[in-house]
Structure 1
Amino acid sequence: MPPGSAFTGFRFPAEVIVLAVRWYLRYGLSYRDVEELLVERGVEVDHVTVYRWVQRFSPLLAETARFCRHSPGDRWFVDETYVKVNGVWRYVYRAVDQYGQVIDVLVSMRRDAQAARRFFRRALATLKVMPSEVVTDAAPVYPAVLDELIPSAWHHVERYANNRIEADHGQLKHRLRPMRGLRTDRTAGVVIAGHAFMQNLRRGHYE
């Protein structure tokens, strides 16, 4: 949980705020659904407030948890999927290890070497170990980026080896479906990173 000072000035207790954020990220709920569940439990809050909580505290929860996450495995599966943001397609870079831990996510306007480089630099920033193998599809941007950033890793290109991460993409799409679209890139990044955090929490990848 973020430090108590992060909740200073908020009318509701930290436990209520974190519970609301967790419900929203974990389940296929709208902000109004979370409002209704809280009202049923005697917490009078509107859906706009729930939205603000998610936007503010989801990144804090995810970032705090990055530093108490288990070290990922040495085999990474990397792939991109697509989401619509305000009616425009965006790329979502995602990596999982052989144990199902989501290593990192990145929402990008482009699918190019610059975006891939940014994704891997972010993924490696808080890790103590480097992968020995990275499995990707045949996208032409990966060889040069991996040679630059993780030269010791074996880059394995295999069309069907990424079934593991394709299934993981499906869980993300399932969560996004009830949301009726993402309106901004920032909202997309917050929700998708928060969903990855909840996946790792459920799978036991934190100390």
Structure 2
Amino acid sequence: MKQSGQRPAWSPPGSAFAGFRFPAEVIVVAVRWYLRFNLSYRDVEELLVERSVAVDHVTVYRWVQRFMPLLADAARFARHSPGDRWFVDETYVQVNGVWRYVYRAVDQHGQVIDVLVSTRRDAAAARRFFQRALRILKVTPAEVVTDAAPVYPAVLDDLVPSAWHHVERYANNPIEADHSQLKHRLRPMRGLRTDRTAQVIIAGHAFMQNLRRGHYELGHYELGHEAPPALRVAAAFTELARAI
């Protein structure tokens, strides 16, 4: 990768990268590294400097916040339809020193259904989570597995009355185990500063998980040839960069 000159790099008309100093190639690599590996923004800054690209870590942060949602949205057309068995649970993270709840769900195939950062753990938050997931995915589960939190029965009876609501000890192990993947990724960070930042980063982690687990028809081919599994995430990001 080469550092751009003082003038903004050229981007196709309508490109999300238009007007940025650095080319799309550099921006997308920085965003991908941050989401894929256990790196801080300063780590990404250092890796880019080693490649003669002088970018401040604050700029990397801004790139992630701006482009991660765009890349994930562009990938929606290629996303596999989720399974009909959803495992739902809440975990928690610190945002600017305050605890926040994170609603997450996975299906029986390990696909992350959706995530939602909430200031509260109540019926209103559970309702927002399910409404968002149902609206975006346009799929109704046949079974929903939760813990014994009392808010779920009424919410599910209202939003997905046809689904079997399953509450049983150990039945929700898949999502509880999956929380550890998120916690492992958040550990190297220097803290989440705002709820919006937390939502973008946690959603980006889910997006990367789904890409790596093969839940998107992306990255299978590169320059007309089948891409090796180790390069499929990189190929997927390159493909998505062209779409935005």
Q: Aligned pair 1:95/2:118, yes or no?
A: no
Q: Structure 2: how far apart are the matches of 1:44 and 1:26?
A: 21
1:6 to 16, 20, 25: 16
Task: Select 2:143's aligned residue among 128, 133, 137.
Answer: 133
Letter in 1 for 2:139: V
Q: Deviations over 1:123-146 (max 9, x none)?
A: 011224311000000001100100
Q: Is the 8 A contact 1:67 1:126 kept in 2?
A: no
Matched, 1:61 2:67: no
| Aligned-residue offset at 1:179 | 0.8
Residues 90 and 107, structure 1, Cα contact 8 Å, conserved in 2? yes
SS in structure 2 at match of 1:169? helix
Distance in 1 of aligned mates of 2:49 and 2:139: 45
Secondary structure at the aligned position of 1:84 is classed as: strand
Aligned positions of 1:114-129 closer than 5 A = 114-129=124-139
Work out whether 1:144 is the aligned partner of 2:154. Answer: yes
CA RMSD of superposed structures (Å): 1.3
Higher relative contact order (CA 8 A, sep 6+): 1
Distance in 1 (CA, whole Å) between partners of 2:207 and 2:25 is 18
Offset from partner CA, 1:16-42 (integer Å, 9 cap, x none): 111111111111101110011111122
Aligned residues: 205
* Structure 1 residues 92-126: Cα deviation after superposition (integer angstroms, max 9, x where no partner): 00000000000100000001111111000110112
Match of 2:115 in 1: 105
Q: CA deviation at 1:67?
A: 3.4
Unaligned runs of 5+ in 1: none
**Cα distance between partner residues in 1 of 2:65 and 2:178:** 23
Q: SS in structure 2 opposite 1:103?
A: strand
Partner in structure 2 of residue 24 of structure 1:
34
Report what 2:235 is aligned to: none
| Contact 1:34/1:50 (8 A) holds in 2 | yes
Q: TM-score, normalised by structure 2?
A: 0.81
Confirm or deny: 8 A CA contact 2:31 2:60 kept in the other structure. yes
Tell me the TM-score normalised to structure 1 length.
Answer: 0.95
SS in 2 for 1:67: helix
Name the % identity: 88
3-state DSSP class of the match of 2:181?
helix
State yes or no: 1:43 paired with 2:43: no
Work out which of the residue numbers 207, 214, 228 in structure 2 matches 1:204.
214
What is the CA–CA distance in structure 2 between the aligned matches of 1:166 and 1:130, rounded to whole Å?
22
Give, in whole Å, the separation in 2 of the partners of 1:67 and 1:91.
29
